[in-house]
Structure 1
C-alpha cells in the first residue's frame, strides 16, 4: 500500500481507480490463498508444516505407531510363513520420505481424487473390497475366477499365507504413516487399516492373483492385471494409500511368486493347478453373491 501511495496518490482519489485497485488486491489475495492451499499440508501428528526446512526431521520421524497395529496382523507376523523361511529377504525399496516432493505430490493427487474420482460406484466398490472375505472374492465377483477350479483356489490360498506374512513384515519394518497422518484435511472413505501403509496389501495380494491367473490363462492376462490395478487405485481414492504403496506391493508380489516357484514341491502344486484350471465365466456377480460363494468354498 505504501508503494502504491508513492507511485500515484491521485488515483486513490478517483473512484474508478480505487475500485480497480481493490479488485486487483482481492484477486491477488485469492490467488495466493489458492496456491498456498494446493502446496502445503497440515501434518496432523507433529503440528508442523513441510515447507519449513527446520521441521523436516520431525516430519520424517512420523510413523504408523505400534499401538495402532491390530492384534490379528501382529499374530500373522508372529506365526510366520508356511513354505518360505523368515530368513528370506525381499528387496523392497524404502518408501519416499514424508518430506519428499514425491510424498507431497502424492498427497496433492489424493486430494484431487476426493473430488474427481469419489462417486457412488467407486465408494461402493471401496467398501466391498475393504470388507470382502479375501482378495479372491474380487476376481470371483467380476467373473474372472472360476470357483470350480479347486486346485487353483487352494493354490491361491496357500500362496496367500506366505505372501501375507512378507507384506506385513515389510509394513512393520517401514512403518510408513497413512496419508491422513500427514494431511489432516484428507478425509478417508474407510477407517485407516490397523497396520502401516507401505507396501499396499490390497495391491500386492490382488496382483499376486493376477500373476497366477495370467500364467494359467494368458489370453486374459490384461483383464486380470487391470482388475488388480483398479482395486489398488481405489485404495488410493479412499485416501488410505499413496500410489507408491501400490507400486511397491505389485513389485513384492512378483518377487514372492518367483521365490516360491523356485521350490520344487511348490512348483509341482503350481503345475497341477495349471493343468486343471477352468476358464472364467466373465459373469459379474453382486457383492452378496460373491461373498456368499467364497464363504461356502472357504
Structure 2
C-alpha cells in the first residue's frame, strides 16, 4: 500500500510539474519590447458602420459554415504549434520534438505577454457581446477582441516554422491563415481582429529575430525538427 501511495504521489508530481511548465513558459519579449498600442490603429467604434458590417459577416458564416469548418474551428481553439501537424506530417509530434515543444511554448507565452496588454487597452467587445444573434461554437470570451491573440500566435508560429522548413513554406503559411480565419468561423472574432492579429504576429516575429535568447533556442529547435523530418 505504501509503494502504491508513493507511486501515485510521484505520478501526481509529474502531472502537476508538466502543467506548471506549460503555464510558466517564459516569454522572449513583452509589451515593453513591442508596444502594439503604438503600432496598430484603434478598433472601429462599436456603433460604427464597419463593426455592424463585420457582425453581418460573422452571422453569414454562422449560417453557411459546414460541419467540417466547424470541427476545424473548434480544434483550432488550441494555442499550440501541433495544430500544424496536418501540413508538417506524421513525424511532427510533441514526443518526437521536445526541444521544439519547449521553444514554441515560449513563443505562445510571448504572444500573451505582448498582446494581452493591447487587448486590455482597447477593450473591443467581441461579436457575441454586441449581438445576441451571434452564437460562438467555442468557449465564449469577454477579453478584448483587438487584435486576435490566436491569429497573432498562429501567424508567429507559421512564420517561424516556415523559416525552419522553407520547403513547406506555402503550406505552412496557408495553414497559419486558416488558423486565424477560423476565429471568425467560430464566431468569436471580427474579420478586422484577424487582420490586426496577422500584422501583430508579423511585427513580433520580426522583433524576435533580434533577441539572442530566441536565436539560440530557435537554432536548437530547428536542428531537431529538420533531423526528425529527415531534411
Q: Within the alignment, does 1:163 sit opposite 2:111 as a pair?
A: yes
Partner SS, residue 277 of structure 1: helix
| 1:154–1:255 CA distance, 2 compared to 1 (3 A) | same
The 3-state SS of whatever aligns with 2:150 is helix
> 90-99 vs 140-149, which deviates more?
140-149
Contact 1:171/1:198 (<8 A) preserved: yes
Q: TM-score, normalised to structure 1's length?
A: 0.60
Q: Contact 1:199–1:246 (CA<8 Å) still a contact in 2?
A: yes
Shift of 1:81: 6.2
Q: Aligned residue pairs: how many?
A: 200
Q: 2:80 aligns with which of 124, 127, 135?
A: 135
Q: Does 1:205 align with 2:153?
A: yes
Please name the residue that 1:273 is paired with. Answer: 221
Distance in 1 between residues matched to 2:222 and 2:25, nearest whole Å: 27
1:243 aligns with 2:191: yes
Q: Any gaps of 5 or more consecutive residues in structure 2?
A: 1-23
Aligned CA distance change for structure 1 residues 80 and 194 (closer, same or farther; 3 Å) = farther
| Gap runs ≥5 in structure 1 | 1-78, 282-298
Per the TM alignment, residue 126 of structure 1 is displaced from its structure 2 partner at its CA by 2.4
Q: 1:241 aligns to what SS in structure 2?
A: coil
Indicate how the Cα distance of structure 1 residues 279 and 176 shifts in structure 2: closer, same or farther if over 3 A, else same: farther
Q: How does 1:1-298 map to 2 (within 5 A)?
A: 82-88=27-33, 89-90=35-36, 91-117=39-65, 119-130=66-77, 132=78, 134-144=79-89, 146-147=92-93, 148-278=96-226
Q: Tell whether the 8 Å contact from 2:82 to 2:92 is kept in structure 1 after alignment.
A: no
What per-residue deviation string (whole Å, max 9, x for no partner) do you get for residues 214-251 of structure 1? Answer: 10111211111111211221210221100111111111
Q: Could you give the per-residue CA deviations for residues 128-179 of structure 1, whole angstroms, max 9, x where no partner exists?
A: 223x4x4223113554572333333222112221222112111111110011
CA distance in structure 2 between the partners assigned to 1:252 and 1:96 by the alignment:
17
